[in-house]
Amino acid sequence: MKSRRGKPRSRPATRPSADPIELSVHGTIHDGRGLAHHGGKAVFVSGALEGETVLAKLVNEQSRFCEARTLEVIEPSSQRVAAPCVHFGRCGGCQLQHMAEQTQHAVKQAGLLDQLRRRALELPAPLLPPLTGEPWGYRSRARLGVQFDKTGRVSLGFRQARDKVLVDLQQCPVLAPPLAALLAPLRAWLQEQVLTPVTHVDFIQAEALTALVIRHTQALPASALKTLTEWSHAQGATVWLQPAKDPMQLLNLAGEPVDPRLRYRVADGALSLSFHPSDFTQINPAINRAMIDQALELLAPQPHEHLLDLFCGIGNFSLPMARLAGRVSGVEAVEAMVARGRENAAYNGLGNLSFFACDLTREPMGRLLGRTGQIDTLLLDPPRAGAREICEQLGGIKSVGRILYVSCDSATFVRDTGILTQQGYRLTQLGTMEMFPQTSHLEIMALFTRQ
C-alpha cells in the first residue's frame, strides 16, 4: 500500500526482543555507532567498534533496521580504549569515550563525506585540516537535571541515553574543571535541603567567573536561600534563580530581579562579548576561537564589502567580521539576542555593524535585503534544522559571490549543499571541527562560491 505521496508506508515499529543477541560488527556509521546485521536487518550498535563481537540488547526495532546497546564486549577491537568516566555507557552526555580520540574524528568526518558522496555532490580536495583541541575539560556550560526519588534522594546529572531517568554524576571529565568541582558540593546542598521544586541547574564558566542558574517551579524557602548564599560564597560561584518559565527573568539570592552579563573574548582577546546566562553561546571556547579565525581566513571580508550574518546570535561572527568588512549586518530571530548584539557592537566601538530581528524561516530574502541593503558576502550559522528556506532563494541574489556555511548537523548540511549547488554555487572549501569531543556531534565549515 502506498501513501498519497507515492511512497510505501513504513510498517510500525515492533517490540524489540528482550533477549541479548551476539553481533559481529563489520562497520561504523556516521555517528560512531557500530554496524552489524541480524535477522536480515541492519543493526546500529551503540558502544561497539568495527571488528568487535559484542553481546547487545535491542532497544528499537523498525521495519528496515534495529538499534541496539552493547552489554558486553566478547572480542574487543585494538582501537578500543578505556573510558575515563565511570558513567560512560549509561549517561547520555557522551557516546564515544570507548573510541580513541583520532578515531572519533576520523569516523565522524568519514560519515559526512559518505553522506555527500551518496548525494553525488562534488567534494573539494584537499579538505581543510580538522580543528581539534583538548578532548577533556572543554565544556564551558551544561544544563543538568535535578530529580528526587520517593525517599528524597537527589540525582544531579544528564539523562540516560534514550531515557528520561537522570544519571547521578559523581564526575564529568568533559566539564571545565571549575564546573566539575561544583558537582559534589551542589549535590550535597540539594540533598540537605530536599528542594523538590528545583528541576535544572545551568553551569556556566565565563571569563573569570563561574556561575549557576537554578531553575525551580515554586518559591524556595528563606532557610534554603540563606544556606545557598553561604554556599555560593564558600564555592566562589555566582548563583541566580529562575523561578519563571521565561529564562531571561532571573533573580539574585535576595529575590531581586536582575539582568546579568557574562563575558568571553575572541580575536586574540581584542573583542569582548557579553551575554545573558540564558543566551546561546558555544560551549567549547578554544574551538570557537579557532573557528572564528578560520572563518575570517576563508571568507576574507574586504573593506568595500557588505557582509550579511544570518542566525548571528549575540554577534559571535559578526563582531570579528566587522573589523575587516566595510559593513556587517547581523540578523537573528530572538529579540533579546539582537539587543545583546547591539550592546556588543557599541561596547567594542564597531560603528559599521547593525543588528536586525527577523524570523529567517518566513521572511523572504528580498524583503530582508530591503532592510539591510545589497550584500556581497553571506555567512550562515543556522541551528540543527539548517537553512533550507534561505538557500532556496540565493540563486536570485546575483551580488553574493561567497557563502560561508557553519553547520552543527551533517544531514541538513548535506541537504543544503545540494540546494546551493542547484542555485549556482560550488563547494570550494570543506572542513570539520571537533566542538564536542567524546560525542557523536560534528561541526562543519564550508565555503561556497558562485560558479
* Residue pLDDT, tens place only, 387-422: 999 999 999 999 999 999 999 999 999 999 999 999
Instruction: Count other C-beta atoms under 10 Å from residue 15's C-beta.
Output: 8
pLDDT, residue 5, reads: 38
Angle at 444 between CA 299 and CA 202, to 5 degrees: 110
Confidence at residue 14, expressed as pLDDT on a 0 to 100 scale: 58
Q: Does 436 appear as a known binding residue?
A: no
Q: Mention every residue, 6+ apart, whose C-beta is less than 8 A from residue 142.
A: 93, 158, 172, 175, 179, 202, 203, 283
The SS3 assignment for 337 reads helix
Query: Range(s) for CATH 2.40.50.140 in the chain?
Result: 1-80
Residue 149: how many other CB atoms lie within 10 Å: 8
pLDDT for 338-396, tens place per residue?
999 999 999 999 999 999 999 999 999 999 999 999 999 999 999 999 999 999 999 99
Higher pLDDT, 230 or 89: 230
**Residue 381 annotated as lining a ligand binding site:** yes
391 marked among binding-site residues? no
CA angle 206, 208, 209 (to 5 degrees): 60
In this structure, are residues 418 and 398 in contact, taking their beta carbons and an 8 Å threshold?
Answer: no
Chain center to CA of 150: 34
CA max distance for the chain: 67
> Angle of helix 222-235 relative to helix 183-193, nearest 10 degrees?
160
First-to-final CA distance of the chain: 43
* Homologous superfamily of domain range 1-80: Nucleic acid-binding proteins (2.40.50.140)
pLDDT of residue 426: 97
* pLDDT at residue 7 tops 60: no
Output DSSP code: residue 326: S
Q: Is 44 annotated as a binding residue?
A: no
> What order do you get walking across the sheet with 238-242 strand by strand?
154-157, 141-148, 198-206, 209-216, 238-242, 250-251, 257-258
423 is in an annotated binding site: no
**Element housing 443 (H / E):** strand 443-450
Domain 141-260 has CATH 2.40.50.1070: yes
Residue 94 annotated as binding site? yes
| Contact indicator for 432, 105 with CB cutoff of 8 Å | yes
Q: Where in the chain is the domain with CATH 3.40.50.150?
A: 117-132+263-450
Q: What is the distance between the alpha carbons of residues 260 and 278, in angstroms, rounded to a whole number? A: 10
At which residue does the C-alpha cell 585494538 appear? 78
Annotated active-site residue in 66, 312, 391, 408: 408
User: Under a CB-based contact definition with an 8 Å cutoff, are residues 84 and 70 in contact?
Assistant: no
| CATH 2.40.50.1070, the chain: domain bounds | 141-260
Burial of 20-38, coded b for 16+ CB within 10 Å and e otherwise, reads bbebebeebbbbbbbbbeb
Say whether 203 counts as a known binding-site residue. no
What cell numbers appear for 282 in the block?
Answer: 558555544
The answer to whether 91 is annotated as binding is yes
Residue type, 87: H
Q: Tell me the CATH number for domain 117-132+263-450.
A: 3.40.50.150
The backbone torsions φ and ψ at residue 123, rounded to the nearest 5 degrees and listed phi first, read -105, 135
Q: Is 66 annotated as a binding residue?
A: no
Can you give the pTM of this predicted structure? 0.92
Does the annotation mark 66 as catalytic?
Answer: no
Chain segment 139-161, per-residue pLDDT in tens? 999 999 999 999 999 999 999 98
% the chain with pLDDT above 70: 96
Amino acid at 12: P
Residue 154 — φ and ψ, nearest 5°?
-95, 150
